[in-house]
Every structure is written in C-alpha cells, then in structure tokens.
Structure 1
Amino acid sequence: MRVALYARYSSDHQRDASIEDQLRLCRAHAEKQGWTIVDSYTDRAVSGASLLRPGIQELMQDAQRGKFSIILAEAMDRLSRDQEDIAGLFKRMKFADVRIITLSEGDVTHLHIGLKGTMNALFLKDLADKTHRGLRGRIEAGKSGGGLCYGYDVVRQVDARGEPLRGDRTINATEAAVVRRIFADYNAGHSSRTIAMRLNADGIPGPLGNDWGPSTIHGNAQRGTGILNNDLYIGRLVWNRLRYLKDPDTGKRVSRVNPTDEWVMQDVPELRIIDQELWDAVKTRQRSLAFSTGSKSDNPMRERSRPVYLLSGLVRCGCCGGGYSKISADLLGCSNARYKGTCDNRLNIRRDALEASVLSGLRTHLMEPELFKEFCQEFTREVNRLRMERSADLVARQQELERINRDLDRAIDAIFGGVPPGKLKDRMTRLEARREELTALLVDAKEPPPLLHPNMAETYRDRLARLSETLSGTGVRNEAAERIRALISAVVLTPEGRDGLTITLKGDLAAILAFAADKKNATAHPERGVLQSFLSQASLVAGAGFEPAAFRL
C-alpha cells in the first residue's frame, strides 16, 4: 500500500517541531501496517479554515495522478476544519480511489465527515467567540484590542510575577506632531493629495515606513480608516466597527461594517492628540466635500465589471513603477508624480494615442512577411509532430490494454479447460498489474488537441491586419480586448528626452514578439516539449515558456 503523510499546524505561536511530531507518529503507524511511504506534505502556520494551502493542494493533485492510495494524518482537523472543505476533499479522494486514514479516527467514512466536520466547524466558531469576548474585556479596560496605529508606541512592561502586560500604549511625540500637522493643513483648506506630497517632499516616513498617499490621510469615514478618521486621536477608543469574513472562493479576509449599536467605545483621554475644536472643524469640512458613492462591497457587479479601455490598469511608469492613471478625460499621467510627489516623471500621454501606438507596434512587429512566414511554417510542423507523438502514445496504450484483456480471457479459458492455475498465476499477476497501470494512465490522459492547419499564417495575418477594426466593433470588442489584455502584464512608459515616452510591453505578448523576432526555428523554443500554442477562431494564444518577457515598441 502506497501512503502519503500530511501534517499541519495553524499558528505562528505554535512550535515548528509540531510538524515533525505529527510525521513521526504517522511514520510509525505506517511502518507497523507495512505500508510504503511515497511522500509527505506539510503546511506550516496556516489555518485549517481553508483549502487554499500549498501543501494540501499538492496532495490533492498527486492523489488525482494516482501517486498513492492512502492519505495518513494525525486527525481530521489537520486536513481541514471547514465542513464544506472536508466534505469536498473526501468526495474528491473517493473519486480518485484514495482512502483517508487518521490516527484519531481510523478509516474516515461518511459518518466521520458529517459528525467530526461539524465538530471542527463549531470549534472554530467557539474559538472566534472566545477571542472576541477576550478582546472586548481588554477594550473596556482601556487597552488595545490589537494593532498599532500611527502616532503611538507600545508600552512594554511586566507585572510582579514577570508576566508581560499587553495592550498599553503611549503617544509617540514625533508622529503626534505629524498628525497635528495633517489636521491643521486639512483644516486650512489643503487637499489630502497636497498634504501627502508635502510630507513626502520633507522626507517624513508614513505608517510602516511607506510613502504618504492621499488615501492614507482621508481614508474611509464610514469604516474609520485613514488619519483623519481615527477617533483615538481625540481620546476615544472605538472597537468592533468592522467584522471580518473569509471569502470562500479566494480565502482572503474581507471587512464588513457592523451596525453602530454594536460598536464598543471607551474613553482614553491620556491618548488624545487632537483637540476637540480642530477635530470638529475637520469633520465639518469632510462632510461638506463628501459625495455619495456606492462601495464595491455594496454592488458585487462592480467588482466584475470589464475594464473601460483596452489598457486600463496595465500602464506603469518606467521611473518609479507606479501606475499611470487618468488626470483628465483623455490624458494619462504618473500617479506617484501627481498625487504623492515621489516621482519626477511629469510627461503625460493621450489614452487614444497610446492605444494606437501599441496596436500599430503589434501589427508592425508581428507581420514581418518573410520572418513570420518561415516561423509559422516551422512552428506548425513542430507542434503537429509533438501532437502526433502524443496521439500515437495514446493509441498504443489503448491497443496494449485490449491485448492484455484478451490474454487474461484466454488464461481464464485455459484454467476452465483443465490447465493447472499454478502455471498461469505469475503470468496473470503481471498482466493484472500492467492492466491497472494502463487503466490509470488512460483515465488521466487527455485527448490530444487537433493538428494546426498549414494555412495558420495566412489566417493569423488576416486577423491581425484587421486588429484595429476588430477592437472598434461592438460585437467582439470585449472578447478581443480581453484576449490581448491576458497576454500583457504591463505597458511601461519611460521618459526619453524632454518630450518623448518609450513604450515597453511586458508579458506573454511581449515574449511572443521577441521570440518571433529572434528565433525563426520553433525547435529552438526552450520548452519545445510542452508547446501549447494553437490558433482559435479569434486569436493566437501562446502557452508558457517564452522568454524574454519584455519588448520595446
């Protein structure tokens, strides 16, 4: 029996040796059962509330490939504490014909999944409730509920028994002066962008040592984020303003605003930095400048909306690495130069001119007649050869499996005909083992993709020649734009001279350009064994492996 071991611990506060302890116990059990350990998988300091863990993901992938037939862990909660995840894991392993065995529960069955899965989920909820209750007690005692905001330092002290006292803070005089300056400047009529630029120009580090940005200052008044919205600066500790949930699809924590009657407020006058009059004046100015906008969380469809323009979110500054954003209806400019003052690149570019330059460059570099024709011919031959080899391997395995089935049938007929079974035992054992191996290979095997048509170059050239026309049409614009964006990771604009900007593409599309320009022979591809390029009805899509990943237009 081939077995894989899995171990996990969930917190940085736990010992790293916990992994080795779990694996040691599992190894001892496997040796006692006479099982062969083929591999071990671990996740260190990762919560069991989600399956988005590298160790468990690799375990599941190898199980689907038939690498082992048993998963051995210390307990079910090491695999997952989420009801949905543990049930899904069990279902997938059942499909892959892989048993789950733990030292605590033994051979895991549907009954274990139902009962222990519920118990583990309740454990997480109970732990969260106890943590929440403990934090509330600390808040009501005037201590920190976790995290340290700008303007304060942690007070490190111990009690009479030498145990650390946690949750006490004191005002950081240097940072408090910066906070007062921000409030005073904002009250004097300066925007958060101007304040951020001045702080960066004076070399004053922001929270966590980062540059100051407008959002760091104005934040979100409803959520209490940002310097201007921190109630602690007026000696009022507000807790439980937000609650955090884990997105089941991404595993990331997202925040939601709690009703105001659930907020916990505690006066801590010794931590006041801003006087009440200045605070009230700033709040009045904030309300006068506020305008109503729905948050992304209020409208989930906004998070899935398509980019408005072809290169939205992809344009970067070649000087500072920051993004290029709209500074007017048609102009793009460096965000760091405009909003933070940390970049000297003041050159702007029209959005339509940038898109036209990129598309023109693509047409020019992807349509060099002789080079592209030769490359496509060689590329088509090489890809078709590899695909025919894959097809031949698949057919050969299917034919061998059919031959083994016939041999086994003849052996059974021979036994019924009077041949002693002992003479055929070894032969039948080898045939059965090979049949299982071939069956597993054929189950995982994918049908080889169709061969590329010899006229790929002409079809591609026709599509490319009408690239601008395609992108301007309403029918396929979104689909065509998405395919182009998927091949571009960034469009870098670097100043050249006083008034010029150099455009550099980064990503798979840039690599295709460089590959087509530098290597006419497709067999020179660094990963020629896994070429996955094919011509779809609308575009040429390239697989991984192209280098380099930048191309200057």
Structure 2
Amino acid sequence: MPKRVLFYARHSSDDRLCPCFDRQNYHAKRFIKEKGWKLVLTCRDEDIGDVVFTAQPGVHKLLEEVDHRSVDVVLCHTLDRLCSSLTVAARLLHDLKAQGIELWAADPGVQIKTKDLIDYYCTNPGKPLGDGRHLEAKPDDLYEVEHLVRLPYGYRYTGAYNADRQYVFGYKVLDPEAADVVLRIFQMYADGMSPAKIAAVLNMEGVPSPYSGTWRDATIRGDRSRRSGILNDEIYIGRSWVPGRDYYDYAPALRIVSDELWRRVKLRQGFSARRAAP
C-alpha cells in the first residue's frame, strides 16, 4: 500500500526570494510520483511574516491530520517553507515521530531527521535541506502571543486548551472596548461625519488608537478598492479572510457591524466618490 502524503506549502509573492506555490507543488508532485506514494491532501499558507506556527490555517489543518494519523508522510519543498526556526521544527518533528509520521523535503529529496536540524538552522543553513537563506533560531514561539500577526482593530488573541491540555494561542475574539469604538466609527460616518472629524473626536476623548498613537483620518478612511482602513475591513461584518484562499470564510462570532449599517456606509462612500470624480 503506498504511503499517504500530506503536502504543505508556504506561498511567497516574491518568486525571486523563494519558490511560489506552483513551483513547490510541481516539485512535490514529481517527487511523490517517483517514490510511488499517494498525495491525499495539500495544505497551504501565505508568507505573511513572523507568525505563530499554530495560528496559521494550513498548519492548523496539518496538525489535525497528524492527530488523526490520516497520513504517513508530511512533505514540504524545503524545510524553511514549513518551519522558520529550529525550535518549531524540532517540536513538529517530535510530534510527527510520536504518531509514526515521517517528515520529508522534496528538494533535495531526503527524510528529515532530528540530527539534521542543528546542521540546517545553525551550522550550515545552505545544506542539505534549504536554499541558503538562514533564519536564526529563536526561543520557542509556538504559544507566545507577541509573535502573532497583528489583528484588525477591534479584536484580540486568546487561547484554548487542546486535547493534551496544552494552552494554545492563536484564536481571534472580539475586544469589547475596541469593538464599541469600531461600531461608533461606522455609525458616525453613516450619519454624515467625515473620517477627519471622527479622528478629531476620538483624539479629543483620549480613545486609544490601533497603534497607540493618535487617530488619523487615513486609519478610518483607508482605501476602498484595497479593503484597507476601518471602514472597508469586511471582518467587521463577519467575513474572515484565510491566507492561501481567494474567498472569505464567514465567522459570525466576529461580527461587529450589522449588514444595514455596513450598507449605509458603502452607500455614503459611493456617493462621496461620485461627488469627488471630475
């Protein structure tokens, strides 16, 4: 019976620095075919910076499959496309080994063993498992909130206990005080107040801004076409974008703004854009 393979890829928008998803996928499928294995699942994340390992959707799915022992091999293109630090790699390898699951790198086509990790991350990062880029070892950051990707204003991270009674950070919840400010911003704008005036009111009242500075109209207004700025972030109506996908997941528990209030804001934005057009 062929080994069941879960392929994990981390996509990069800059193909000059690291291979894009298509290239990683191509090499992985070719390697799986050469080995006579069977690809049963592909997990994918976006390269969005320094983020807690378990907070990434693709990694979260990978760990679920590991817990269920539904695969025999976890395959990545190069080790750095899976784990960015020695401590993360060592912990993952320990968990895989406990479940009888192997970890392989399609380039250069080797099984990754614990003894290889020091050589890759600390001694000779160019060989045998990577492409020459060195990311220095950090403290174990699997469960530390300060390493998480910054959330939109109105939300905070919390954690939960897994089946092994380990407390895992990486879950997004409402921040009640900030959520009230978000709702107020939407209401003030829908009622006719400009982003600049809203920012002035919040600063006058001493309301903390998203980045601990002063409120600016650009923070509120943003860019509608890019979905930036508080007034354009669809997370506030419960649409949660998952890295690696081109669509939104619905997360009703994260909703702050009603559909009616969102519609009023969009109508006013559209009217303002038409009025500003030549």
With structure 1 as the length reference, what TM-score do the two structures score?
0.25
More helix by share: 1
**Which has the bigger relative contact order, CA under 8 A and spacing at least 6?**
2
Tell which structure's C-alpha radius of gyration is larger. Answer: 1
